[in-house]
Structures are given as C-alpha cells and as structure tokens.
Amino acid sequence: MKEQKTYILAIESSCDDTSAAVLLNEKVLSNVVATQKIHEEYGGVVPELASRAHQQNIVPVVHMALDKANIGKKELSAIAFTSGPGLLGSLLVGTSFAKSLALGLQIPLIEVNHMQAHILAHFIDEDGFDKPSFPFLAMTISGGHTQIIRVDSYFDMTVIGETIDDAVGEAFDKSAKILGLPYPGGPLIDKNAREGNPRAFRFPKPKVDGLNFSFSGLKTSILYFVQKHTAEDPGFIGENLKDICASIQYTIVNILMDKLRKAVKETGIKQIAIGGGVSANSGIREALKAGEKKYGWKTFIPKFEYTTDNAAMIGITGYLKYREKDFSGHHVTAKARFKV
C-alpha cells in the first residue's frame, strides 16, 4: 500500500528560539531556527524581549521554512505548534499564529507538548541515526529542563526524575557567568574543560532522593570557591580556567550519570535516548559511550539541530498525532506548565 503523503508545518516558540519546520511524514524538509541574540547582553533570557522578538521573527521564519521545503501553504495537511511548557508570552505568539493559520487554511491544528517533542525527535527519519525501541529511558538536558522519563510508547511517558531547582544547562551557564564567561557559557565550559584536569578541584555533589536532581548548591559552592581564591590571588580564574572548567564539568557529568545508572538499575531498561542542548557536551557524550562498554547501554543522541529547541521535533510529534487523528479544537491555549 502506498503511504499517504502528510505535510506538517510545525511552529516552536516556547523560549528564545523562533522556529518553523515542514515535514513530509517522518522526514524533515526544512527546519529554520532564528536564535534571539538580544538575550546575550543580559546573561539570560528576558521573557518580555523574547515575546517581542518572536512577534518579529515568526512570519519570515514560517515563509523561509515553506520556501526551503518548496511547499505552498495549500499543500499543508495540518499545523502543529508548541502549546507548552515554556514562557507564556513566547508561547502565545506561536499559539495565536498557528491557530489563525489553521483556521484560515481550514486544516487540522495539533498542539504539542515541548517535552514530549524533545523525546520524539528521535523518531525523525534521518540517515545514519537509529531510532530507539520501546520501552526506553529519555534524559532531557537543556537550559530549561532536566528530566529522566520512562517512555513506553509514543505518548505513554512517565517522568521518573527531574530537577528540584536549576536545570543542568543553567548550572553550566551560571557557573560560566561566575567565571566571567559570556552567555550562554555551557559550550565555553566544555571547550576549556577539554584541556583541563577534571580532578584539579573538588565540588560537592548534592544529596537528593530518588532520581531527582539539584544544581543550585553547586552554583553556590562555585561562587564561594571563586570568591575565596580571587581574594587571595586576583589572577586565580585566568591562571586556572581550564582546570576549573574541567572540574565543574566533571562534577555535573557525575551527577547526571549517577542518576542515570540508578534509573537503569531500577527500571531494567538499558536503552537511553538523550535530548536538549546540553547533550552536545563532550563529557556527557564520553560518559555515555563509556556506559555502553561498561554496562551494556545502548545510547541514542539525535542530530544536533534536532536536539536543541527546534520545530522539526514539534513536526514529528505533530505527524505522530496526525496519524492518530489527535487534533485540537480552536479553544486550545498556551500553557506555561504542561506535564508530559
């Protein structure tokens, strides 16, 4: 039987990236992301500025996605959009846009949970990338999220662990800020860490029950550590940057891996799928590879452009919902909190 051709236009605007993608079934035809630079000056995302930038970006980004996919609006089968979780003002821009366009084109509207989408990004058809089979564990690590999720089927997901304070990306970014590195500092910590000694300095690991995480204590201990040493030697950071970064990264990677090992032990599931911008981190990638050898894990990391915030992951989730005819009514609204 010939597979039906379904074209999904997907829109993502939950944080500081305005993104639109077009998918033909499980394949990505275009995935356009406009990253908002304005926040760099403030050392973090400013919600009000993010919504304004989404307003400016959304129309050109959608046009670009349709052009790149070489698709006309009339050929679209449905519109998928992120309804949450995220910054409310940002979500409202994508939500209103998607609702109006679906209404204008008289095609189905599909709301997508951003956290589910990070996980379902693994089901995009991409040469050279395997898809996990059910059940598997997903660990989403980014500037906004840190969760371990048990995935039993596309839409049967259970959060089994999450951060009780900062996300892991925030831990990287806030540590970098203390060291005087620009935002977002995660990639810079990684870069410096590669040439440093991970055991040069010791930072305490938090004691958190079960599979939950905590990163706010680490940030505080790094702050005190830096204050103490720079009081004695003002050049301390500059002289030891690589070792400090390597030691911070080593601590964060250990925190993540401890909980992941525990999750594998508790569930008996050895397939692990990673998502979120922090999955680019070299220390995490090495630790996962080591886990494959040492514990027989099978790990999945999607193509980088589908792991940071992007609309292609919203598109694949939209397509999987489209197959189930899981459509949304036009009363659907943006929600800052939205459980998987």
Using the contact rule CB under 6 A, the part of the chain among 66-74, 123-131, 179-187, 329-337 near ligand KG4 is 179-187
Closest contact distance (angstroms) between CB of 142 and Zn ion is 5
**Cβ closest to Zn ion, residue 142 vs residue 317:** 142
Range 238-277, binding ligand KG4 (CB under 6 A): 276-277
Closest contact distance (angstroms) between CB of 47 and Zn ion is 15
What is d(CA 132, CA 68) in angstroms, rounded to the nearest whole number? 29
Helix (H) or strand (E) holding 124: none
Q: Tell whether residue 166 is a contact of ligand KG4 (CB under 6 A).
A: no
**Cβ closest to Zn ion, residue 240 vs residue 281:** 281
Using the contact rule CB under 6 A, the part of the chain among 21-29, 127-135, 140-148, 329-337 near ligand KG4 is 140-148
Q: The tokens 């996980």 sit on which residue? A: 119
E-assigned strands of the chain? 7-12, 17-24, 27-35, 78-84, 109-113, 136-141, 146-153, 156-162, 271-275, 298-300
Using the contact rule CB under 6 A, the part of the chain among 98-106, 169-177, 224-232, 239-247 near ligand KG4 is 169-177
- Give the residue, chosen from 81, 172, 297, 319, that forms a contact with ligand KG4 under the rule CB under 6 A: 172
Sheet hosting strand 109-113, strand order edge to edge:
27-35, 17-24, 7-12, 78-84, 109-113
- Give the residue, chosen from 173, 244, 247, 316, that forms a contact with ligand KG4 under the rule CB under 6 A: 173
**Cβ closest to ligand KG4, residue 7 vs residue 183:** 183
What is d(CA 227, CA 221) in angstroms, rounded to the nearest whole number? 10
- Give the residue, chosen from 89, 186, 291, 315, that forms a contact with ligand KG4 under the rule CB under 6 A: 186
Q: The tokens 């639109």 sit on which residue? A: 20
Q: Tell whether residue 196 is a contact of ligand KG4 (CB under 6 A).
A: no
CA atoms within 13 A on the CB side of 284: 29
What is d(CA 204, CA 221) in angstroms, rounded to the nearest whole number? 8
Find all residues with CB under 8 Å of 300, minimum gap 6, and list them. Answer: 122, 129, 130, 131, 132, 136, 271, 272, 273, 274
The dihedral region occupied by 251, where left means phi > 0, alpha psi between -120 and 50, and beta the remainder, is alpha
Closest contact distance (angstroms) between CB of 25 and ligand KG4 is 25
What is d(CA 186, CA 176) in angstroms, rounded to the nearest whole number? 7
Q: Which two tokens stand for residue 300?
A: 């999945």
Closest contact distance (angstroms) between CB of 313 and Zn ion is 9
**Cβ closest to Zn ion, residue 173 vs residue 309:** 309
Q: Tell whether residue 161 is a contact of ligand KG4 (CB under 6 A).
A: no
Pick one of Zn ion, ligand KG4, none as the site partner of residue 280 (Cβ within 5 to 8 A by kind). ligand KG4
Q: Tell whether residue 281 is a contact of ligand KG4 (CB under 6 A).
A: yes
Give strand pairing partners of 275: 140
**Cβ closest to Zn ion, residue 145 vs residue 219:** 145
Q: Which residues bind ligand KG4 (CB under 6 A)?
A: 15, 142-144, 169, 172-173, 184, 186-187, 190, 276-278, 280-281, 308-309
